[in-house]
Amino acid sequence: LALDREPLRLHLVNSSGPTHPLAVGLKPLLAIDLWEHAYVFDYGIDRDAYVRAVLSLVDWQTVLADILAAANMADEQTKLKYLIRCSMKDMRRLKHMMVQHGTIDLAEPPSLTKLGLIAPAESHAARSLVDLAMEEVAREGRGRDRDA
């Protein structure tokens, strides 16, 4: 899981070697080793069980705090708005997406709405709550920059 600060968007990324998220300006938030050596001994070929086990150990409050810190949300009102919209329920949905649908490749810079999991329609009903919250925070930030 990585954060693109401009535009403010979360990405599920499959990377190895030179395609590390940092190389393309993404901020890593959560990484899981999916090479076979990480899970075959305990889980055999059941990679899904391994991912579920790892994600069950994640402190999602810490991940959310890292998202806020990485997005440089210093303004308390912006933080509060973001926390209300990007609740733990949204984090659980994101966790479910990661377990059910794996990762995607950096060759096509992704967004949650472009994973083929959420309809690509422009209607807000088809968009991810996380995407919407992050877009609104980014818009408000740009508006404050113009007003300053």
pLDDT at 36: 86
CB-CB contact of 39 with 47 (8 Å): yes
Most confident segment among 48-52, 65-69, 98-102, 114-118:
48-52
How many domains, the chain? Answer: 1
* Residue-number span of the structural domain to which 118 is assigned: 2-147
> Distance between CA 12 and CA 17 in Å, rounded?
17
Question: Which among 35, 125, 141, 28 is positioned nearest to 82, based on CA atoms?
Answer: 141
Question: Which among 26, 13, 3, 30 is positioned nearest to 133, based on CA atoms?
Answer: 3
pLDDT at 115: 36
Average pLDDT along the chain: 65
- Could you identify the residue written with the tokens 């705090």? 65
> Distance between CA 148 and CA 83 in Å, rounded?
24
Per-residue model confidence as pLDDT tens digits over 60-90: 888 877 777 776 655 555 555 555 555 555 6
Per-residue model confidence as pLDDT tens digits over 14-26: 776 666 777 777 7
> Is the per-residue pLDDT at 102 higher than 80?
no
pLDDT at 42: 92
Report residue 44's pLDDT band, with 50, 70 and 90 as the boundaries: very high
> Distance between CA 125 and CA 77 in Å, rounded?
25
Percentage of the chain beyond pLDDT 90 is: 3
- Could you identify the residue written with the tokens 């920059």? 145
> Is the per-residue pLDDT at 40 higher than 80?
yes
